[in-house]
Amino acid sequence: MNVVVVGPPRCGKTQLVHAICGVKTAQQLRPTTCVSHMACTLQNTQFILWDTPGCLGHCIPNLAEGIVSDCDVAIVCYDGRRCWSPVELVKTIGKHRCYIYLTQPCAFNALFAYETFDLCSSLFNLVPIHVYKDSMLCDILSTMSDLHEPCPEDEMRLVDSV
């Protein structure tokens, strides 16, 4: 399963990829300037996790566009910045392939909640939002068989909300 991890610069994308693969990281990581990948097996499923450079607004960096368009799942990292929102990026990638991962406890704030519910009204369902990596991975694995089937329009999910 190809999983791409996207988000703004310095929001925790590389740390998430390393944590999922069980690799210890240095305290201070350098900014990601290229696309890299790691592989691991979780519950008998092979994952290839793609770490990408930071997205500015809803624009995916040119060197990551092919990976994003070919991925099975996109994890959009969000750290609560007021100057960046995951909503437009989710719309760009496609809500049926996205999971939002909150990398900071304070990331679910009033502005994000408003934008998320605006996303709900414009796209008729919510994108799963996770604050725990393990529950997000379980959600991805449980929906793996439905990845290439269209999502029902009336399905609404909010996971691990605060």
> CATH number of the domain that 26 lies in?
3.40.50.300
* Long-range contacts from 118-121, C-beta under 8 angstroms, 24+ separation: 118/87, 119/87, 119/90, 119/91, 119/95, 120/156
Domain range enclosing 86: 2-146
pTM over 0.75: yes
In a domain, 157, yes or no: no
In a domain, 160, yes or no: no
Q: Is residue 81 part of a domain?
A: yes
Question: How many Å apart are CA 48 and CA 51, to the nearest integer?
Answer: 10
Q: Per residue of the chain (162 residues), give pLDDT as tens.
A: 999 999 998 888 999 999 999 988 766 667 777 888 999 998 889 999 999 998 887 788 888 899 999 999 999 998 887 778 888 888 889 888 999 998 887 777 666 666 665 555 554 467 788 888 998 999 899 877 554 444 443 343 444 433
The total number of structural domains in the chain stands at: 1
Residue 156 lies in a domain: no
Tell whether 158 is covered by a domain. no
Is 61 within a domain?
A: yes
